[in-house]
Amino acid sequence: MVSCEGGGYTWSANSQQNALTPWPNDPVSDSPHDVLYLRDEDSGEFWSATALPVRVESAVYRAAHGKGYSRFSNDAHDIELDLLQFVPLADSLKLSRLRIRNGSARARRLTLTAYVEWALSANGVNAAPFVVTSLDASTGALFARNAWRAEFGGRVAFLDLAGAQTRATGDRAEFLGVHGDVGCPAALASGVVLSARVGAGLDPCAALQTSIDLAPGAQTE
| Dihedral angle of Cα 123, 124, 130, 136, to the nearest 10 degrees | 50
Proportion of the chain above pLDDT 70, given as a percent: 100
Nearest to 198 by CA among 134, 136, 151: 134
pLDDT of residue 179: 86
pLDDT of residue 72: 98
- Dihedrals phi, psi of 186, to nearest 5 degrees: -60, -35
Nearest to 176 by CA among 31, 76, 6, 26: 31
Mean pLDDT of the chain: 95
Pair type for strands 204-214 and 167-171: antiparallel
For the segment 70-79, the average pLDDT, to the nearest whole number, is 97
pLDDT of residue 27: 74
Instruction: Output the pTM of the full model.
Output: 0.96
pLDDT digits (tens, 9 = 90+) for 138-187: 999 999 999 999 899 999 999 999 999 999 999 999 999 988 899 999 99
For the segment 46-67, the average pLDDT, to the nearest whole number, is 96
Are the beta carbons of 156 and 146 closer than 8 angstroms?
no
Residue 51 confidence class, pLDDT cut points 50, 70, 90: very high
Whether pLDDT at 56 is above 90: yes
